[in-house]
Amino acid sequence: MLDADWATFTLAAVTAAAGLWRYWRNSGQASAIKAADEMEKFHTDRSVSIAERLLDYSTCYIGYEKLSGGVEKIKIEPQDFHLALRHHSVRRKEVPGYDPEKDIFAKTTPEGNYDPQYVFSGREHYVRDVFDRFLGRLERIEALISKEVIAPEDFADHFSYWLKVIGDPKGPQTQFSADKRKTLLDYINRYEFNGVIRLFARYGMDISRPVA
C-alpha cells in the first residue's frame, strides 16, 4: 500500500513539474512574441520615424497630416523645433535663436482676445503630437523592460544610436544641437515623461533636468 501511495505521489509530482515547465515555456514564448511585436511596432511607427529624422537633421522635410485632410510636405528648421516643443508658458520670442522674420505664424496671426505669443500653430501641434507618440512608445518599452518582457540589452542593440544622440552630449556627430537637446530634455521633464527618464537611466544616462 505504501509503495502504491509513493508511486501515486511521484506521478503527481512529475505531472505537476511537467505542467510547470510547460507553463514557463509557454510564458516565455508569449513574452518573446510580445517583445518582438512591441519592437516591430516601435520601429514601424510613423511618428517614431519622423521624430528620429527631426533629431538627426538640423533642417528636414516631413509629411504634415493636415486636420482638413491630406498630407503636405513641410520644412522644419531649428526655430520650428524650438517653437513646437517649448513649454506652453514660454512665449514664442523666448525660444533659442528666435528670429521674428522666420516666424510666419506670429507675423500673420492678428491679435484678438489672446496673445499669439503663447499660441501653437497647427504645424507645431503636429510636431508635438509626433514627439508625444515617440516618447510614449519609449515609456512603453521601459514598462516592458521593468516587467522583464524585453531584455535591456536587446533594446539597447536596436536603439543604441538614438540613446547616445538624445542622452549623451558627446554622442554621435549629428546636427542635433545643444540647444535642441536642451529643448527636448526640457519637454521630457516638464511634461513628466518619467518612464523615458528611467529608460535612459538604465543605460547610465541622466536626462533629468530641474524644472524652473
Q: Residues 186-200: pLDDT tens digits?
A: 999 999 999 999 999
Q: Residues 46-98: pLDDT tens digits?
A: 999 999 999 999 999 998 887 777 888 999 999 999 999 999 999 999 999 99
Which whole number is the average pLDDT over 32-47? Answer: 76
Half-sphere exposure of 85 (CA within 13 A, CB side): 28
Phi and psi, residue 75, nearest 5°: -95, 130
Can you give the pLDDT at residue 82?
97
Q: What is the pTM of this model?
A: 0.80
> Using an 8 Å Cβ cutoff, are 185 and 82 in contact?
no
Can you give the pLDDT at residue 39?
73
Q: Is the pLDDT of residue 18 over 60?
A: no
CA distances from 76 to 41, 59, 127, 150 (A): 25, 6, 9, 34
Listed residue (185, 168, 187, 180) closest to 77, CA to CA: 180
Residue of higher predicted confidence among 51 and 24: 51
Q: Rounded to a whole number, what is the distance in angstroms from the first to the last CA of the chain?
A: 78
Q: Do the bridges between strand 71-76 and strand 60-65 make them parallel or antiparallel, or are there none, so unpaired? A: antiparallel
Can you give the pLDDT at residue 209?
73
Place of cell 515617440: 134
Can you give the pLDDT at residue 158?
84
